[in-house]
Amino acid sequence: MRLTVALVVVQLLAGASALHAQSGPPVKPAEPFNVGTFEIQGAPRVALVLRNSFIVDIEKANESLQTDPAYVTIAAPRDMLELIGQYEYGLRYRLYEIVNHLVANNRLGANRPAYVYDLKAVRTLAPILYPSKVLNAAVNFYSHVNEAGTPEERAAERRRRREQRGVPYLFIKPGRGAVVGNGDNIILPWGRDRIDWEVELGIVIGRRAKYVDAKNAEDYVFGYTVHIDVSDRGGRPPGGLNNPSDWFVGKGHDTFAPLGPWIVPKEFYGDPMQKLRQTLSVGGTTLQEARAGDMIHTLWELIEYATSIITLYPGDVVNNGTSGGTAAGSAATREGARFLKPGEVIEASIDGIGTLRMPVVSEAQPPGGTGVRLPPVASYRTN
């Protein structure tokens, strides 16, 4: 008797699996989607973004879908790193199934399930909490080459770079602490009065990558996001090592790596080397606008170079660099140039992805200290 019951159970399970297998996983979703991380009911949740308006809690949507025996049971990703790592190993099709189910059953209208939220009803977090590495390309747009020089100096240096591209220059930014999400404050560190802006395209790595060739680097990409490389142009004080250049000071402060507002999987974005357009405004004034044709090294060359030095893992971010229009460079080209001030708002956009809108606030003078803290710029620079 027990054997007969067990046989029936096996047959039922096999039948359910066969039902799903007959249709197979969907080849494409009913509509494109983005993925992001949002604070929902007080906790970070990984979610789908539909129509740039609806936030779908993936774990809850997956649980609901699996009440139908036509769908196989799979574990939902707990965070964005898991989503990215599992995407090419079947998770992609479960997300397609969730989207198709919602659209086919008109569940984005008045009869939305409880796991679908309005974007304005949740807090947008950085999409990846947190990348193990954030790599940025320095001076990777011709319009940013020697931007602070005279017109003659800029023209000569840009001509030299076209003739001698060399290899990319990459630097690393911190993850946790520096990476913040859309709407979070960019904090101007106490005494640091030369804080600059740089809009960049973030390439989100989808597969373990080492010694990747540029010709197949796109195969290792999960998707694309918006990044702001906030920069401290004040340098370090004299004395000690006596090197005024310090990339940790320049790039490593808290809140200096805004990321988001979400990630567009690569199948929904297209070829960034053809369609990229990145812009940035401060206080409503557009200061940066560039396309991929201005880049010195392609996105794929950046990946080849990076992976010749270090292994990239799912969720790591490689940023493409920025164009002309920075505060430091504009001093020589735009009357009334200035660095960021408290109360201003940066808006950084990439067509086809979205916009980061970041308020700028100042940091109060910290208490204590023994004299080895990074001092105010005004204490050692007058120019």
pLDDT digits (tens, 9 = 90+) for 112-163: 999 999 999 999 999 999 999 999 999 999 999 888 888 888 899 889 989 9
Q: Let me know whether 138 and 221 are in one domain.
A: yes
Q: Let me know whether 344 and 293 are in one domain.
A: yes
Backbone angles phi, psi at 294, to 5 degrees: -90, -5
Q: What CATH number is given to the structural domain containing 237?
A: 3.90.850.10
Domain assignment of residue 129, yes or no: no
User: Into how many domains does the chain fold?
Assistant: 2
Domain assignment of residue 3, yes or no: no
- Domain limits for position 102: 14-124
**Single-letter amino acid, residue 89:** Y
pLDDT digits (tens, 9 = 90+) for 260-300: 999 999 999 999 999 999 999 999 999 999 999 999 999 99
Q: Let me know whether 87 and 161 are in one domain.
A: no
Q: Let me know whether 96 and 188 are in one domain.
A: no
Domain assignment of residue 327, yes or no: yes
pLDDT digits (tens, 9 = 90+) for 181-236: 999 999 999 999 999 999 999 999 999 999 999 999 999 999 999 999 999 999 99
Min mean pLDDT across 21-25, 310-314, 324-328 is at 21-25
CB atoms within 10 A of CB 370: 5
Domain end residue (candidates: 91, 124, 157) = 124
Residue that has been written with the tokens 């949002």 in this structure: 38
Q: Let me know whether 115 and 140 are in one domain.
A: no
Separation between Cα atoms, residue 327 and residue 338, nearest integer Å: 6
Q: Is the pLDDT of residue 62 over 90?
A: yes
Domain end residue (candidates: 106, 124, 142) = 124
Domain assignment of residue 9, yes or no: no
Domain assignment of residue 70, yes or no: yes
List the one residue out of 201, 369, 220, 207 whose CA is nearest residue 295: 201
Domain end residue (candidates: 124, 153, 175) = 124
Q: Let me know whether 249 and 353 are in one domain.
A: yes
Domain assignment of residue 337, yes or no: yes
